[in-house]
Structure formats: C-alpha cells, structure tokens
C-alpha cells in the first residue's frame, strides 16, 4: 500500500491548523441529555473525516441497529460503559475499547448502565453528519415516512423494528 497522491503542492507549508478547547460548550444537547461536541466536522476537515465527542447520560437510548452505504463509523470509549452491537452480538465497551464498523456494517449503541459515558465517534469520509445530529430528535416526532426520508438523506439505513436484534 502506498500513500495517496499529494494534495498540497506548496514548498513551505501553511498556517491552517484548527484548535478546539476542551472547555468549548457542546454543539448539541438532545432531549435525552446526550451532548455532542463537533471536534472536527465536515467543514473543518474538508470532508476527510468527522470526529465527534458524545457524552451520554445513564440509560440513554443511543441508536438502533443501522448501517451506512458511504461512510465507516468508529467508536472509542473514553469513560463509562457503552453497549455496542457489532452486527453479530451486543458487547460492552469500556475505557480504551474501540469498535470499527466498515461501510455497510450493521451496528448500534446505547447506554444501559446507571452511569454516564463518554466516547469518540469517527466517520470516514467526513460526511456532513452535523445536520443529522441537530435535527434527528425533531424528525423522530414527525411521521414515520418523514423520519425515514431524513435518515436515508443522511446515509442511515435502520432495520425495521421486527428485525432489530435483541440482547440475550
């Protein structure tokens, strides 16, 4: 495997780094209390990747089983425990645990515990996921058809409730 073709052809480099303070307020606070920090969103990375810090409260529902057709998704647990569905079974991830889900891979996540959790979510390439996080709670209150259209526009294909894997 080789490196990709160069995209920067200058001789001296550029001053173009982007810093985000740990003290920055979250970009989204959902009705369930989950907060999302856009560490490196679509616009910041030019679509190379999207990196988000997600803090979930106790018993937060997360996302049902779904897949993406154009992006991979990765999870890195910073603190607490998260229940992750890897397409085959539910596993518990704790601090330092990592799950990579290639394009097309079934996955889900939730916080079943009585404690909060914090994790990083990485999408590659960096699709414009921010609108999805900002508006999904609103669309969940609309018709099933409107919600499904919204999800598909954002490359999120959810299993029907009847097909949803159950924990054993």
- Using alpha carbons, select from 156, 127, 121, 124 the residue that is nearest to residue 139: 156
Q: Dig out the tokens for 55 from the structure.
A: 């803090």
Q: Average pLDDT of 20-47?
A: 92
Extended beta strands in the chain, E state = 28-29, 35-40, 50-56, 63-67, 72-79, 82-85, 90-93, 98-101, 107-110, 117-124, 157-158
Other Cβ atoms within 10 Å of 153 Cβ, number: 11
Query: What's the full length of the chain, in residues?
Result: 168
pLDDT at 147 > cutoff 90: yes
Give the pLDDT confidence of 81-131 residue by residue, as tens digits.
Answer: 999 999 999 999 999 999 999 999 999 999 999 999 999 999 999 999 999
Q: Dig out the tokens for 90 from the structure.
A: 């539910």
- Using alpha carbons, select from 153, 118, 130, 109 the residue that is nearest to residue 50: 130
SS (H, E, C) 77-122: EEECCEEEECCCCEEEECCCCEEEECCCCCEEEECCCCCCEEEEEE
pLDDT for 87 equals 95
Give the pLDDT confidence of 61-86 residue by residue, as tens digits.
Answer: 999 999 999 999 999 999 999 999 99
pLDDT for 3 equals 92
- Sign for the CA dihedral angle at 137, 140, 146, 149 comes to positive
Q: What's this model's pTM, rounded to 2 decimal places?
A: 0.91
153 — phi, psi (to 5°)?
Answer: -60, -25
pLDDT for 122 equals 98
Domains and CATH numbers, the chain: 28-159 (2.60.120.10)
Q: Report the alpha-carbon distance of residue 144 to residue 151 in Å, rounded.
A: 11
pLDDT for 161 equals 61
């Amino acid at each position: 495997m080789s490196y990709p073709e160069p995209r920067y052809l200058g001789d001296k480099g550029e001053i173009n780094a982007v810093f985000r303070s740990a003290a920055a307020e979250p970009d989204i606070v959902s009705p369930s209390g989950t907060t999302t920090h856009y560490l490196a969103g679509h616009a910041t990375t030019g679509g190379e990747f999207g990196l988000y810090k997600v803090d979930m409260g106790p018993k937060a529902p997360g996302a049902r089983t779904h897949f993406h057709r154009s992006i991979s998704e990765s999870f890195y647990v910073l603190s607490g425990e998260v229940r992750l569905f890897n397409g085959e079974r539910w596993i518990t991830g704790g601090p330092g645990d990592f799950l990579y889900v290639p394009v097309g891979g079934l996955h889900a996540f939730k916080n079943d515990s009585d404690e909060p959790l914090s994790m990083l979510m990485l999408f590659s390439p960096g699709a414009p996921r921010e609108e999805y996080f900002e508006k999904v709670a609103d669309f969940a209150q609309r018709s099933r058809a409107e919600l499904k259209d919204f999800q598909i526009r954002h490359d999120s294909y959810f299993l029907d409730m009847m097909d949803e894997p159950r924990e054993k």
